[in-house]
Structure 1
Amino acid sequence: MSGHLISSDRQRIVVGLGKTGLACARWLYRAGTPFRVVDTRANPPGLDELQRECPGVEVVCSPLDAELLSTADELIVSPGLSLKEPAIAAAIEAGAKVVGDIELFCREVTAPIVAITGSNGKSTVTTLVGLMAEKAGVRVGVGGNIGLPVLEMLEQGEKDLYVLELSSFQLETTHSLRAKAATVLNVTPDHMDRYASLVEYHQAKHRIYRGCEGAVYNRDDARTTPLIPEAVNVLSFGTGRPPGLKDFGLLTEDGETWLVQGLEKLLPVSEMKIRGQHNYANAMAALALGSLAGLPMMAMLDALREFPGLAHRCEWVADINGVGWFNDSKATNEGATVAAIEGLGIGLTGKIILIAGGDGKGADFTELKPSVQRYVKDVLVMGVDGPRLAEAVGSVAPVQRVVDMADAVAKAKALATEGDIVLLAPACASFDMFDGFEHRGAVFREQVEALHG
């Protein structure tokens, strides 16, 4: 195909098509900006749409070529591609600037941004802040790593506020965020197949604080504490009493646990539909972010009362013969699984039967041991890294290998007694056995619902 006809002194290359790359291509094309697209796949997803909607744009489907990429002034890189890819690294060395769709979005918008990252809880907190804004009558756009690609949000008309879930991969290529309020919810080992160390992963997450007006951190996780100028407004949240009058925490009084800000009781957790310590932390993080964004407290508390939680995130599925069944298929790393076990285990009269396993993304699973020892009576493992998971926790709980989800649910039913919980919280990605975490959760739900028959 011939190149885009509009001339420009700058050379741009979109690296990686798919959902995000296509959104970038559409945006550049409509702006009249010349660019090329490269993808390692012979027939990448989105190619037909690109050719139909952006005629004349050159597409190169071949292994990434360092010489070609080095001709660019700016590479617009898909978050699924590591910047350590040799061809991309060579282009950076040659002087190319690397950006992503979030950076293009930030260059365009003038409305304030609430930016949310963390190993776990991002989607819940992002959704909550969006609902809080809606309750307050604010025109809000919610997207990023959840829902719509950010550039597609720009087609929805003017907004008063944007709430963005951002992954570490997206933050690597974002330079102009300057959030009204930013948070790192927590940092636990994840994507260790992409990052050389936890320190490198931590550094990518903390890019979210660059240039922010307000920052929110988790008092229970020192890795979230921002290193920022004193002029930045900083709030904290945590599961203990808040240290300052504007900080958020939990207070238990006369058998009732409350969300509090400073000395002020805000909401008893019994009035929320979401359960577990990790969800109380998510609620407090959302309140802190909303406060920094100027949202009224009453509207935020109304949103908390109504929020039912997200599918596949500690989602209640059924109670059968006194046994609760919970779907936390989105728990794709150790930290998320620990949060689910701890959140449901506290106050539980019985024990947890844990279904876990899949593609561990380089994790060693040792972080699971204390929680498994405290709250889990049996572990059922599956998937390519099931044996490694079994080895990691086998010294603290009985472990059985299962062949698929039907086998896991059947064995869990046989093991569970009244007062127990069966929890799907895999600590692994799903692609070795399923189309994604949604598919894995749906299969679990189907198998549990079949028990009623």
Structure 2
Amino acid sequence: MQLIQSDKKRVVVGLGLTGRSTMRFFQRMGLPFVAGDTRESIPDMASLREEFPDVQFHFGQALVDVCPDASDIYLSPGLAVDLPDIVALTERGARVSGDLDLFMAQVSEPVFAISGSNAKSTVTTLLGQMIAAAGKSVGVGGNLGKPMLDLLEAKHDCYVLELSSFQLERAAPAKFAAAALLNVSADHMDRHKTLVEYHRVKQSLFAATEVAVFNRQDPLTEPLQRSGMALRSFGWQSSGMADFCVAIHDGREMICRGVTPLLGVDELRLPGRHNVLNVMAALAMADAAEIALQAAIDAAKSFTGLAHRCELVANIDGVAFINDSKATNVGACIAALQGFAQPSAKIVLIAGGQTKSADFAPLAKVLESIPCELVLLGEGAEAIAQACRSDNNSGNNISNNSKLRIHFANSMEDAVARAGRVAGAGDIVLLSPACASFDMYSGFAERGDAFKAAVNALASGGQN
């Protein structure tokens, strides 16, 4: 097949997790390649050379000079397709792709794909558990956990992939057995520049899928091209008989398929109203995958969620401290706020970080209707505050929330301490930053761990 011809001049660009898995794949296949990285050096160079002793590496050098005859460039998701070197090589005839093209060319088993601005990891993991509960061997990975090419090291009955916009933008249309687009809100505007372009990339998930699953609450998730595919959907109100919704049965709120009740909302262990939608999305995908319905329901009932995604850390004097560090964009933060909002309780929101050129006006609008105080830190603190201040006159869609109290913190420990002081019994302290973490941390996990450490210190009386 064309993707693994031995006479190609392959260049793997970007030596993070995905780049290394691509290198392992070529090494297993016995195919020649060279590798490069835009960085002058990488921290674990010794282990890289030990794993790939016969590979020629290029660091910080112009690829157009060292690999002028490259025929195929396998670009890691973290690197933009419009890098000058990449553009120059494509103008010479090189083809740019990523690990998804390689993966799809190798598998004959069903592949189920999940994308969206938020909740991808939760739904991907839950769907994997539903399939496993039905007695099937399933490989789960992609943008979550194992890079997808590493999943090929073992044989599975099917695969569940989380896919980011960065992975989709360099991939050819893929024939997924089913694909779900969970939600679309502005993210990575520093890369995609406009919501229109970001939406176009996300919609490419459906280009060749057999079953498309979309969110009825979010019109941007509906397939633009519907010919040749079956449709499933999920949302709050009922729709078709094959779609998933929430309805009242015998005075109880139930998740239903059509008019058939499946499980009670009160049986879910996932916190937050927004996670009801995520469970319905996973059930819709399991239905498309023809997984035994009872196995999927049992998995949904037992699923407690993932670290750093609406994770309850502690309850201190009646105040719940929630770690949602994975909320790296405005849409995720809004989902968490709306998921936990209660008229009788206040949310103290800890937010801020690397903004990724985000627009915080939608967040400010949501905060007008939710009892809330803000504790802001990091690079994005002032940008969020400016969007939320009642005297903001920078443009349309601004906040008129004169009652919102805003506090500034210089560290996570300081933020948690300040939040703890202004929260009372029944309130929620929510870390849902609406920003990336790289201004202060190596990633969302380290930021979430810092929050948990600060909360535990507060619980033990270690903070004032």
TM-score by length of 1: 0.95
Pick which of 228-237 and 304-313 moved more.
Answer: 228-237
Corresponding residue to 1:299 among 295, 313, 323 = 295
1:445 aligns with 2:447: no
Shift of 1:49: 3.4
SS at match of 2:379: coil
1:285 aligns with 2:278: no
Unaligned runs of 5+ in 2: 391-400
1:402 aligns with 2:409: yes
CA distance in 1, matches of 2:62, 2:159: 34
Paired residue for 1:91? 89
1:220 corresponds to which letter in structure 2? Q
Pick which of 395-404 and 117-126 moved more.
Answer: 395-404
Paired residue for 1:310? 306
SS at match of 1:194: helix
Paired residue for 1:371? 366
1:234 aligns with 2:231: yes
Paired residue for 2:398? none
Maintained 8 Å contact 1:354/1:376: no
CA distance in 2, matches of 1:321, 1:437: 27
Paired residue for 2:427? 420
Paired residue for 2:204? 207
Maintained 8 Å contact 1:117/1:166: yes
Residues 32-43 of structure 1 mapped to structure 2, 5 A cutoff: 32-43=30-41
Query: How many corresponding residue pairs?
Result: 445
Maintained 8 Å contact 2:249/2:261: no
1:435 aligns with 2:442: yes
Q: Share of identical aligned residues, percent?
A: 45
2:211 corresponds to which letter in structure 1? G
Maintained 8 Å contact 1:19/1:46: no
Pick which of 254-263 and 208-217 moved more.
Answer: 254-263
SS at match of 1:343: helix
Maintained 8 Å contact 2:190/2:357: yes
Shift of 1:45: 4.9
CA distance in 2, matches of 1:322, 1:362: 36
SS at match of 1:173: coil
1:322 aligns with 2:322: no
Maintained 8 Å contact 1:66/1:86: no
Paired residue for 1:57? 55
CA distance in 1, matches of 2:101, 2:343: 45
1:167 aligns with 2:164: yes
TM-score by length of 2: 0.93
CA distance in 2, matches of 1:144, 1:225: 23
Paired residue for 2:124? 126
Change (3 A) 1:46 1:72: farther
Maintained 8 Å contact 1:23/1:151: yes
Shift of 1:50: 3.6
SS at match of 1:354: strand
Maintained 8 Å contact 2:378/2:440: yes
CA distance in 1, matches of 2:107, 2:343: 47
CA distance in 1, matches of 2:243, 2:427: 35
Paired residue for 1:357? 352
Paired residue for 1:3? none
Unaligned runs of 5+ in 1: 1-6
SS at match of 1:26: helix
Maintained 8 Å contact 1:17/1:46: no
Maintained 8 Å contact 1:70/1:96: no
2:168 corresponds to which letter in structure 1? L
Maintained 8 Å contact 2:192/2:198: yes
CA distance in 1, matches of 2:320, 2:62: 49
CA distance in 2, matches of 1:371, 1:159: 43
